[in-house]
Amino acid sequence: MPAHRRAPSLLTSGLRSLGESQLQTQASRSASLDTAALGMMALDAALATILDGIGAPGPLRIATLALICLSFAMAARTLRLPGAEETGPSLADMQAARETQDEEQLEETLLEGLTKAVEINKRELAHKDASFEAALALLVLTAIVELIGGLS
């Protein structure tokens, strides 16, 4: 007699779908931050090259170039920080659990794995966001210093 398989509840299916959607959103956000950091590094390099080629190097110009270097370093740090690398429980683990757990326990294990991955990614993305925001703030400060220098 075949074993009766219970279909996952509507709530469980909805929670699983929500977890998967959040993981996809986090992965996209992580990739966007990496792309933006690369763009900022290119902009920093271009600005440093332009500023190095114009005008006499005074204390304000040196400060501006130092800020650009700091912005570049923070953007590079953003790239090096881990992003949304957690994509849920591993398929191998879920296959192994399938042999020892019933359907209800398996659904619970899957939901726990998704929840854990979402929380880990949330923490990692918070660090990545902060690093990128610092790089952007330094670049804005660079523009302000250069504008003040142009007014003097």
Distance spanning both ends of the chain, measured CA to CA: 90
Give pLDDT < 50 ranges for the chain.
1-2, 4
For 87, the token pair is 């994509």
Distance CA 12, CA 30 (A): 27
Residue 2 is predicted with a pLDDT of: 47
Instruction: Give the DSSP H/E element, type plus range, for residue 98.
Output: helix 91-100
The string of pLDDT tens digits covering residues 19-52 is: 889 989 999 999 999 999 999 999 999 999 988 8
List of residues 6+ apart from 107 with CB closer than 8 A: 8, 12, 16
Residue 5 is predicted with a pLDDT of: 54
